[in-house]
Structure 1
Amino acid sequence: MEELPIGRRVAYWRNRRKLTLQVLADRVGMSKSWVEKVESGARRLDRFSTISEVADALEIDISMLLGRSPDARPPRAYADHCEIGALRDALGRLALASQLSVPRRPDLDKLRQATEHAWTSFQYARYDVLAQSLPALLRAAQSAADYHTGDAAEQATSLLAQVYQVASSTLRKLGEYDLAHLAADRALGASVRCGDDLLAGTSTTRVANALLAMGHARAAFEANVAMAHRLAPGDVNDAGPDRLSVYGALLLQGAMAAAHLRDSISVRELIAEARVAAIALGVDADHYRTSFGPTNVELHRAAAAVELGEGRQAIAAHDQLDRGRLSALVPERRAQHLLDLARALAHIGGLDRAGEMLGEAEHLAPAEIRSRPAAHAVMTAILRRTKGSPPALLARSPTGWGHWCEQPGVRRERDRRRGRRVRCAAPARR
């Protein structure tokens, strides 16, 4: 692993915390020029007490500066506890803040551009970027919804619903399921207020995904299916692409919830209905941020098979995919599919190929793999059952085999195999 000089680590974390040189200097009781010299390497930072004060000022564990942690280099794929805390505060305080403050006139064009950028960041699995930018974007969207009236209010509320949606999806990827549910519920409320039934449909999928992540598969299934019936077109061949996409996405998410319930009949029925809608749509598209189309239907068929314990069927579905269409999907969707395949392969004993799938997915979208508990579970399973060296592609992954072996669950399994006493990891500094 490449070791960064301590000054560069200080600069990285100061910028990530959005602190000026002067603010950091004030926090540690030094001058601004002292901080500049530390970051440039002109001044050595070698006293433990001083390093500890700098770490406290940056709200990180001292090991992140000393280089004694597997994540001592800048963890681009992660959002840390400070950023999650800022998102929690933004979601928790928006309602009260909107009642107590007089909003300034927001620029809807800039808000729309920022929302588009947030969606693009999500589709490229840049969850670290989103964790840093979403609190301010949430405040701006809420301010716009409070300020405007008439048609502009409807546009602002629609944008607010979309920002809540991307926040919900990001938080779910980061394992913050309660916050994901809160954001999705607010997205649904904003969608209803702006009178957009299709936006309400996509918001429902976010609510259901959060419920599913929290273990409420039945509620997730019922929410998706009820909204799908509400939005079902009378004739799919006469429906517009937006309605077909949202309707199809609801059916696919309903099928995933049914798979968690081990309801294989409902899975087949819902995927069959979604396939009809996809055929009518004709192409893979991203109407209403659904990425719905014939290829995505097949990806969900494979994912549902994994949840049902039908690993070989999942692999067969993958082998039948059109590789050109698959490569045209957004990185987040493709990486999720590769993770599903890795789970299927690990289940049937294809450990080498499972490791290759994880390595390929990490090359494609590092955060989609590094931040997901499911990926760590697959890696643990591979380590538990593999003798000798790791799969070659995984060993050449951007973060390296060393990174994977230092994930908490994987590390405990590695130490168990080596006969070491396994101790619980110390809690992260808050």
Structure 2
Amino acid sequence: MTLRAEPVGEELPIGRRVAYWRGRRKLSQQVFADRLGKSKSWVDKVERGERRLDKFSVLLDMAGVLQISVDTLIGQAENTQTVVTTDHVDLDRLRLALTRFAPAAYLGNPAPPLPLTDLNKAVTHAWLTLQHARYDTLVRDLPGLLGQVQAADAYHSGSNGDRAASLLGQVYQVTSCVLRKLGAYDLARLTAERAISIAVRTGDALRAGTGTTRFANALLAAGHARQAFEANIVTAHRLAPDGATWADPDRVSVYGSLLLQAAMAAAHLGDHASVRELLREAKVAADSIGKDDNHLRTSFGPTNLQLHVAAAAVELGDGGRAVAIHHGLNQRRFDALMPERRAQHLLDIARSHVIEGDMRRAGECLVEADQIAPAEIRTRPIASDVMAEILRRTPGTPPALVTDLADRMGARV
């Protein structure tokens, strides 16, 4: 699912729309013309605005070749503002890349892959892309990256084999995260399972731990809170620091992250006692680190702990407590967190304002979150639900910024 912010209406004539989507599909003018049964010069004139498109049958054929709706092609369902269009083709490519897992990379005699140093840079970039909530870029790039790292995993052995396997496991974790964000929960779970299996194969207990948080998050998103709780708890107990291992920030961060995710699952179950106990244990871990950091891509630390305390309060229906925690945050430390984490927190606070009946502040939180990480707000079903509730419960007309965002999200009462 690719999200594209595009000018519409008078700002983007239909000919330019055709050219844009033809480029997205990597079709030359000649190939596009052949599929339509037209000439290349006809396509060129359409794209330059020299030929009108006034037959619906032609529009329907073009939309079919471009794999979009006619409404998207002509902009009929859009206003004159910037909107987000949804393209499922890239998500389908990612699904296909995952189904090619074993045969393509591991059978036969694999060719030499890209150098591990280059792949390591690419995987690091994928993590940063995820934590900056650029999900469109990720979904477009992950199929190629998966193939490259799978090839390296099949090719290398010994210490290089372990390095390649670690990179592959990390790509699976990134993939699991973005699939969960886009609502593909079953595939997100299966992809996280692959990451865990690779970590177990190479004896990397900490990567198995981070993989478990991805696995449990996919379970929780699909409504399986009990299973998510158990997965996090069991793994947290296995990785609990003891003695000298409390000095290892990687281990403490993974352990603390597992506790936080277990607390969120407990909150979904309405288990107040477990939430309190798990958050207390997570605070011990956060205090031992003493600062906000991103060890093993966990973003675990004192500020992230507070964000989870607020999120758990929202799940338990205590919107007032969540708002109070938000106002008590150290703004400098909060601003230093990754965009995805900040936008997700603001979505939680928008939900807390809805609980408290303050639709104005709820809308402001969504607008602020959208400014930080638009995809985090425009791709998640829960954000659409919150916006729909704001629209429904706001007396009169909501503020212009809120209605504008609602249009971009496609939210309806």
Same fold (TM over 0.5): yes
Q: Residue 403 of structure 1 aligns with which residue?
A: 408
Q: 2:198: which partner in 1?
A: 190
The one-character-per-residue Cα deviations of 1:203-261 (angstroms, maximum 9, x if unpaired) are 00000000111111111111111111111111478421111111111111111011111
Of the structure 1 ranges 205-214 and 138-147, higher mean CA displacement relative to structure 2 is found in 138-147
In the aligned structure 1, how far is the partner of 2:171 from the partner of 2:80? 32
Q: Which residue of 1 aligns with 2:3?
A: none
SS of residue matched to 2:292: coil
TM-score normalised per structure 1: 0.89
1:281 partner amino acid: I
Question: Who is 2:402 aligned against?
Answer: 394
**Other-structure match for 2:94:** 87
Contact 1:208-1:220 within 8 A present in 2 as well: yes
Deviation at 1:144, TM superposition (A): 1.3
Matched, 1:51 2:56: no
2:25 & 2:244 partners in 1: Cα distance?
A: 50
| One of 92, 113, 116 as aligned partner of 1:106 | 113
Work out the CA distance in 1 between the residues paired with 2:311 and 2:264.
8
Q: Please tell me the residue identity of whatever aligns with 1:223.
A: A
Q: 2:41 matched to 1:26? A: no
> Is this contact kept in 2: 1:12–1:74, CA < 8 A?
no
Asked if the contact 1:79/1:128 (under 8 Å) is kept, the reply is: no
Cα pair 1:355 1:382 within 8 Å, conserved: yes
- Per-residue deviation, 1:276: 1.1
Residue in 1 that maps onto 2:363: 355
- 1:139 equivalent to 2:147? Answer yes
In structure 2, distance between residues paired with 1:208 and 1:71: 39
Gaps of 5+ in 1: 414-430
* Alignment map for 1:314-393 (pairs within 5 Å): 314-393=322-401
Q: State which drifts further: 293-302 or 114-123.
A: 114-123
Deviation at 1:36, TM superposition (A): 3.7
Query: 2:265 corresponds to which residue?
Result: 257
Letter in 1 for 2:88: H
Maintained 8 Å contact 1:118/1:166: yes
User: Match of 1:421?
Assistant: none
Secondary structure of the structure 1 residue equivalent to 2:151: helix
Distance 2:182 2:284 in 1: 33
Q: Is the alpha carbon distance of 1:325 and 1:141 closer, same or farther for their aligned partners in structure 2, counting shifts above 3 Å?
A: same
Residue correspondences, number: 404
Helix, strand or coil for the counterpart of 1:291? coil
- Provide the residue aligned with 2:207 in structure 1: 199
The answer to whether the 8 A contact 1:123-1:330 is kept is yes
Amino acid at match of 2:182: L
2: CA distance between counterparts of 1:235 and 1:138?
A: 38
The CA deviation at 1:44 is: 3.6
2 CA distance for matches of 1:99 and 1:248?
Answer: 36
Contact 1:356 1:392 in 2 (8 A): no
8 A Cα contact 2:97 2:146, kept in partner: yes
Matched with 2:318 is: 310
- Does the 8 Å CA contact 2:83/2:408 hold for their aligned counterparts? no
Query: How far apart, CA to CA, are the structure 2 residues paired with 1:236 and 1:356?
Result: 46
Match of 1:130 in 2: 138
Aligned to 2:77: 69
**Partner letter of residue 96 of structure 1?**
P
Is residue 220–residue 254 contact of structure 1 (8 Å, CA) maintained in 2? Answer: yes
Partner of 2:162: 154
Counterpart residue identity of residue 342, structure 2: R
Cα separation, 2, equivalents of 1:74 and 1:145:
42
Equivalents in 2 of 1:219, 1:161: separation in Å? Answer: 22
Q: What does residue range 5-24 of structure 1 map to in structure 2 within 5 Å?
A: 5-24=13-32
Output the CA distance in 2 between the equivalents of 1:141 and 1:79. Answer: 28
Percent sequence identity over aligned pairs: 57
Across the aligned residues of Structure 1 and Structure 2, the Cα RMSD in angstroms comes to 2.0
Please tell me the residue identity of whatever aligns with 1:87: L
- Distance apart, 1:42 and its partner CA: 4.2
Whether the aligned pair in 2 keeps the contact of 1:360 and 1:394 (CA below 8 Å) is no
- Which amino acid counterpart does residue 271 of structure 2 have in structure 1? D
Q: Report the residue type matching 1:24 in the other structure.
A: F
Q: Which residue of 2 aligns with 1:277?
A: 285
Q: Give, in angstroms, the shift of residue 365 of structure 1.
A: 0.9
Kept in 2, the 8 Å contact 1:79–1:131? The answer is: no
CA distance in 2 between partners of 1:48 and 1:196 (Å): 58
Q: Which residue of 1 aligns with 2:301?
A: 293
Distance 1:245 1:86 in 2: 34
Match of 2:275 in 1: 267
Shift of 1:393: 4.0
